[in-house]
Structure formats: C-alpha cells, structure tokens
Structure 1
C-alpha cells in the first residue's frame, strides 16, 4: 500500500505480458521469502518469478499472483488483489484473494466453505441467461463466438482483477465469469477454488475441469457460474 497512489515505477514486460511495477516485485519477494521459508518442500509458481520447472515434481505448489489487476493499481483504482493458492497434485486445495485497498478478503480450502471477511458466501441461483450479469470483456460478445450467431441476452460487466471477478461470482454479486482467452494459472487458481466452494461450476471454456501446476501454467479460458447457468453458457459457445 505504500506504493499505491504514490507514482510507483512501472514498465511493460513485453510480449503482450502487460505492465509490472516495483510494487509487484516487492510483494512477490515478500511472499516468496515468507511462504517458502514456512514450506520449503513446496513448489513455486508466480507471475513475477523466473520459471522453475522443479515445481512439477512437488506434491504441493504455491501459485501466486502478487498483484492481479496491475493496470488498476497503476491507475490508483481499488480493484486490484493479491491471489494466493496452494495446489496438491493438479487441484487447488487452499486459496486466499485479498483486496488491500478495500480491506476485503476471500478464503476457501478443500472441503471447507467459501468465506468473505469470515462469513459464508454462495453463488447466484440464476437459471437463465436473460438479464444474467456476466463478468467478461467486450470481445466475448462477438457473434462468431456463439452457436446462435449472436450473444445470449446477458448483461456484460467488467472488473480489472480476474481473481476478484471469480470471487464476485462466488459471493453472488454477479451471475457468471467468462473468458475465451487462455488464462494464466496464477490469475485464477485461488478464485477458482473460492467459487467452487461457494457452489459454482468451475471449468475451462469447453466445460472441462481445470488442472493446475501444469507445464504450460495456463487454462483454456474459463466458465464459472451456478450449475444451471454454467451449462447454458458452455453449451451456447462455439
């Protein structure tokens, strides 16, 4: 927070990887020092760390995005988060998404409840696409993405942090989150478990269960919503 709204140094990572700031690197260094000291046998996968494929041989792996929503952070907006998850094998088993500017925290663990600020949360029960609120980007609405040749009659909204989008679905403030683009694991690992434990169906864009700590460290898009709405969305996509 000492960097936020204080003109942090920032630069572009190149290769369409987007911007990074000195705050991203400082948070990453702090988390790595703290977490790896506590669990030295865990693997490490972070957006801001050099690739270390030894993580693929670890039973457990930290999957971290030090600041998700870096553009919002640079702009002085509140919609950025820290996304921290633990995978066991290829499944996420513990998750935290924290929005420091809002002092709001979402948590979940395998077989436990999804919580926001310590209180249980649950996904929307909406069962039709008419007027559903979907957190996604503009290009999703292009006609070629939909079997009917036009997008369903949902209302599209956007939030800068992908991890936060998944949590907003988990708490029922929005009905779904959808992306047809490949999603990096560090962006979605924590939010995917929080949404799942809140009752959402959580898959890639094809309706296939997500797998984590993969060699590519990415998932083929995402579709996250209550079970009925999720099936409607996935079945409507090309």
Structure 2
C-alpha cells in the first residue's frame, strides 16, 4: 500500500502517542515490584522465553489505541502473531510491549515499552519509555531526540580509549582483542549490561554509554524505536559491516550489531572484524 506520512504529520501525533504510551505503562506498573518477583502470571513461549500477563495486556491495549491513531498502519509486535500483510504496507507499527521481560519479572528497573512507526521502511517516530526509572525517550525523523522533553546527544568522545561499553561479554572481549591488535589501549569502562535492548540503545543516544553491543537474534521490535532516537541524537545502529539496520523484512531478525555515535562507528566496526 502507498500510504506514507510526512515528519510534519507525525509531529502532530506526538501528544496522542505520549498519552497512549503512558497509559500502557500504567497497565504494567501494578505488576512490577522493585527488587522482587512480579505479581503477574508468567508462562513460557515456544523457545522458552518468558511472557507475563502484563506483556499481553500492554500489547492488546497498544494494538487497539495505535491502530485508532493511524488506522492505515500495519502491525508487528513481539506478542502478536506475525501477519505478512505488513510487507505490503509503507506504514507499520513496530512494538515491544515490555522489552526486558526478565528484568520486569525479577524486579530490575531496566525494562521499557518500545514503539516505532515506520514509513517507507524507515523509522519515522520512536518512543522508548522506561516507567520504573521515569525516563521517556522520543524522536521524530529530522526533529532531534529528547529524554523527558530535553534534547539529548550521543557521546562526543573522539576515540575508544576509556570508552563506556556495554553488551554481551564475548562481544566486549572481541572488541578488546581487536583494539589491542591495532595498538589501541582497550581500557574500557565496562557498564553493566542493560537488560532492555531498546533502553541500552537509548542510553547510547543520551551519551551515558559510548558503545552498545548487541548479540545476534535481536528483533525489529527490540531496535526500531531506539534506533531512530539514536540516529536523531547523532549515532546509529549498524551491522558489523557498518551498514544501517533494515526493518520490516520477511524475517525481522538481525545479526550482531553495534549502537554507536557516528564518529566511533568505523573504529568499532574495524575492531570487531
């Protein structure tokens, strides 16, 4: 379908979208207990990953409300059966109702609600809301990125020495070896891994993390919203070939990725080779 949307039209939707995402958070928060097991019922999906009744409630709420706001948009979500009709749509909602479910169910505050709207295959609107920490990140293509309404920017660090790095240990170890090969002192500040992938990328966007590493098998719903926020903050999510992430493919699954300020991309990609 040829329905597209301009950044100006997307900007006009922001108040309704903010309200919707905050309402979604209000459905999840009663089940969350800081430092303790969730009150929500838990079961396992095929493949063994956990899901809670909070995931399902937030997903159902967002599908109804977001579809009312942009009725012509298709839908892709972690908790909804994939419908290949999305491949023929220019506008697609990409949603993770609770990114970091394991954190949510164990009482760790680093979980989030991630919502993106694609237009012609590119993220046009992105929200990452971390209710437990009261952090609300958002971006519209071409309009910059904010956290709680204040502009954010990726790190201005010029090199990787003493960079703040987070992600899976095997990838950090590979980055360390690659830099040592090139004669760079890999004296990283290792930041604890952020359970929500969307939130991990958003923290690169705000500049509190310099390099976020992402292991294989991330999905569109983990990445699309935060990717736009990082792009608008002066960074990118890319593969180990340096190419930007592509969304709304038949299989919305990704290989190893890095989330970095633009000025650090080449150094990180070279070291990970």
TM-score (norm 2): 0.82
Q: Give the match for residue 103 of structure 2.
A: 72
Gaps of 5+ in 2: 1-28
Distance 1:144 1:31, change over 3 A: closer
Q: Give the match for residue 121 of structure 2.
A: 90
Show CA shifts across 1:200-220 (max 9, x none). 133123211111111111222
Q: Matches of 1:79 and 1:171 in 2, distance apart?
A: 15
Distance 1:196 1:129, change over 3 A: same
Does residue 156 (structure 1) correspond to residue 190 (structure 2)? The answer is yes
Q: Give the match for residue 34 of structure 1.
A: 65
Question: Cα offset for 1:149?
Answer: 7.7
Paired residues in the alignment total 237
Q: Give the match for residue 3 of structure 1.
A: 31
The structure whose residues are more often helix, as a share, is: 2
Q: Give the match for residue 152 of structure 2.
A: 121
Q: Give the match for residue 272 of structure 2.
A: 237
Give RMSD over aligned pairs.
1.9
Show CA shifts across 1:116-140 (max 9, x none). 0000000111122111011211121
Gaps of 5+ in 1: none
Does residue 178 (structure 1) correspond to residue 210 (structure 2)? The answer is no
Q: Matches of 1:11 and 1:130 in 2, distance apart?
A: 43
SS at match of 1:95: strand
Show CA shifts across 1:19-61 (max 9, x none). 1101000000000011112222111000000010001111100
* Kept after mapping to 2: 8 A contact 1:179/1:205: no
Distance 1:47 1:187, change over 3 A: same
Show CA shifts across 1:150-196 (max 9, x none). 79442332111110011111111111111241321100100000011
Distance 1:148 1:132, change over 3 A: closer
TM-score (norm 1): 0.93
1:137 aligns with one of 168, 183, 186? 168
